[in-house]
Amino acid sequence: MALRWYTVVIDCHGIAAQARWWAQTLDFQIVYEDEHEVAVIPKHMSEDVIEDGATWLRQAQGLVFVPVPEGKTVKNRLHIDLAPHTSQDRDAEIAALLERGATLAAVGQGDDVTWTVLADPEGNEFCVLSSRDR
């Protein structure tokens, strides 16, 4: 038996803005939005009902943004790793994220690491890894 990893939930203040920022970053689409949550999924993922359990288990994960009253005070215990393909310009991808409101983040990583730690517009850390082809 296996359960499907369905979504990652991100606590934030401005759920609509955060959802749109991440949807643009990941080329996702908004599939649900109200004042309590905003859900985004990959554009290639169907919103149709999937009757077959094996097919349903292979679906990609989404992100859900929910409002919280408190601010972020410590480093995330869980974060998202992003990776460009080897055909992409990694530095240009990072520059685009910074132009859209991401910031560089220091979480104790050394100077010799192969990833870059950034924070989204509300301070949630994520990494851009080295370019990959798998």
The pLDDT tens digits of the residues spanning 77-101 come to 899 999 999 999 999 999 999 999 9
Domain boundary among 71, 90, 125: 71
**CA 36 from centre of chain:** 19
In this structure, are 1 and 38 located in the same domain? yes
- Please report, for the domain that includes residue 49, its CATH number: 3.30.720.120
Shared domain check, 87 and 59: no
Same domain, residue pair 54 and 103: no
Residue 84 buriedness (CB in 10 A; 0-12 / 13-18 / 19+): middle
Percentage of the chain lying above the pLDDT 90 cut = 78
Domain that includes residue 49, residue range: 1-71
pLDDT confidence tier of residue 1, bands split at 50, 70 and 90: low
Query: Total structural domains in the chain?
Result: 2
Question: Helix or strand or coil: residue 123?
Answer: coil
Q: Assess whether 80 and 24 both reside in one domain.
A: no
